[in-house]
Amino acid sequence: MIPSTPEWLAQVVEAPLDPDREIVDPHHHLWPDGGALPYGVDDLVADTNAGHKVVETVFIECHAAYRPDGPRHLRSLGETEFVASSADLLNERHPDAAPITGIVASVDLTIDDLDDVLDAHRDAAGGRLRGVRDALSRAREPDVHTIAGSNAEGKCEDPAFQRGVARLGERDLTYDTWHYHYQNQEFLQLARAVPDTTMVLDHFGSPVAIGSDAGRLDDIFEIWRDDIAAIASCPNTVAKLGGLAMPDNGFGFHEAECPPTSDEFLDVQRRWYEHAIDCFGPERCMFESNFPVDRFSLSYGVYWNAMKKLASQYTDDEQAAMFAGTARRVYSLA
């Protein structure tokens, strides 16, 4: 049986826990048919309507549906246009499903006419633009990655890039980044350099345990633990808790005959979540699905069950923050 397929995922089906708990999913993607990992509004709704009370979602850029030609710095407008039209289609086709209320777009933050481009994305987003992800990810061993970031070395130190990140804060937009655990110090440097912009750390800073780092998750955790504490000391940073089910994380769920149950998933991942929550506090943490990428390892419903089991040790107010409140505040959602 092929991992990530509906047949493989269907081997583990769990009744939703705490089904009245409101969830704002602050991190998912969409790709058109023929895209990198096709996932449209019907697929999204099938997940968000699977029993958990998902009430709204935020799309995060994923290089989908770029314009095929024209000025290079404007090609990502095609993605924002695609997502806005997909959000309208979702509202029309599935009026009772969780709407896409936020878009975090792809923009080159080093360009001279940044404000004009941000205005164009704002207009294309139909009132949904909430931030930009111009990621730092740069893989040391790209050939072993399922998804390999290839951004410029030293990007966080580029004065033009730092000016762009600062401009986001001045426009009440967030900055999201996806990068690898060995780049957490770069993100820390950037967060300190641009203290007035809300900086969103995606996927825990993506621990990578493949290639020469295969089998080294315990060693990586020790380094990562100190880096996360340092990042959390910057008051302008917030953390997304999810995205640890990608093949590149090295947990191997995608290689198993059967996907994990929520208990099995939590058994090996709990320490990463609890440390991040300890450092940032629930009011600066938000659970994220990272779908459909994390579907390589488990289903949408099982992921949220795992998070509910993890969150049960916290107060109701703290749970409300991590499942919905932090996302609403950070992304200025309704």
Per-residue pLDDT tens digits for 192-212: 999 999 999 999 999 999 999
Rounded-to-integer distance, Cα 182 and Cα 189, Å = 13
- The pLDDT > 90 percentage for the chain reads 96
> Residue 74: pLDDT above 80?
yes
Is the model's pLDDT at 161 over the cut of 80? yes
Q: Cα torsion for 9, 13, 266, 331, to the nearest 10°?
A: 80
Q: Which amino acid is at 59?
A: F
Measured from the Cβ of residue 30, the count of other Cβ atoms closer than 10 Å reads 27
Cα–Cα distance, 252 to 260 (Å, whole number)? 10
Checking if the pLDDT of 3 tops 90, the result is no
Q: What confidence score (pLDDT) does residue 193 get? A: 98
Is the separation of the CB atoms in 183 and 139 below 8 Å? no
pLDDT tens column, 10-58: 999 999 999 999 999 999 999 999 888 999 999 999 999 999 999 999 9
User: What average pLDDT score do residues 215-222 get?
Assistant: 96
Q: What is the pLDDT of residues 285-317, one digit of tens each?
A: 999 999 999 999 999 999 999 999 999 999 999
**Residue 333 vs residues 29, 127, 172, 202, 313: alpha-carbon distances, Å:** 18, 11, 13, 18, 27
CA-wise closest residue to 330 among 243, 236, 244, 241: 236
- Are residues 24 and 272 in contact, defined by beta-carbon separation less than 8 angstroms? no
Average pLDDT estimate for 111-137: 98
Q: What is the pLDDT of residue 35?
A: 82
Please check whether the domain covering 6-14+22-330 is classified as CATH 3.20.20.220.
no
- Residues 179, 204: Cα–Cα separation, whole Å: 9
Which pLDDT score is estimated for 110?
Answer: 98
Q: What pLDDT score was predicted for residue 203?
A: 97
pLDDT at 81 over 80: yes
Higher pLDDT, 184 or 5: 184
Q: Is residue 334's pLDDT more than 80?
A: no
d(CA 287, CA 26): 8
Per-residue pLDDT tens over the stretch 237-273: 999 999 999 999 999 999 999 999 999 999 999 999 9
Query: Residue 314: which of 289, 276, 281 has the closest Cα?
Result: 281
Query: Which residues does 102 contact at the CB level (< 8 Å), separation at least 6?
Result: 26, 56, 57, 58, 59, 128, 129, 130, 131, 331, 333
Burial (0-12, 13-18, 19+ Cβ within 10 Å), 225: middle
Among candidates 23, 26, 22, which has minimal Cα distance to 241?
26
pLDDT at 143: 95
Average predicted confidence (pLDDT) for the chain: 96
Residue 287: its pLDDT value, please?
A: 98
Strand partners, 24: 56
- Given this model, what pLDDT does residue 282 score? 98
pLDDT for residue 328: 98
Confidence of residue 112 (pLDDT cuts 50, 70, 90): very high
pLDDT at 36 (0 to 100): 83
Asked if residue 63 has pLDDT above 90, the reply is yes
CA atoms within 13 A on the CB side of 235: 2
Which pLDDT score is estimated for 1?
73
Nearest residue to 131 via CA among 199, 182, 32, 76: 199
| H/E segment holding residue 303 | helix 300-311
Domain-by-domain residue ranges, the chain? 6-14+22-330
Which whole number is the average pLDDT over 110-133? 98
pLDDT band at 4 (very low <50, low <70, confident <90, very high): confident
The arithmetic mean of pLDDT across residues 83-90, rounded, is: 98
Task: Order the strands of the 100-105 sheet from edge to edge.
Answer: 22-28, 53-60, 100-105, 129-133, 174-177, 199-201, 237-241, 285-287
- What's the whole-model pTM score? 0.97
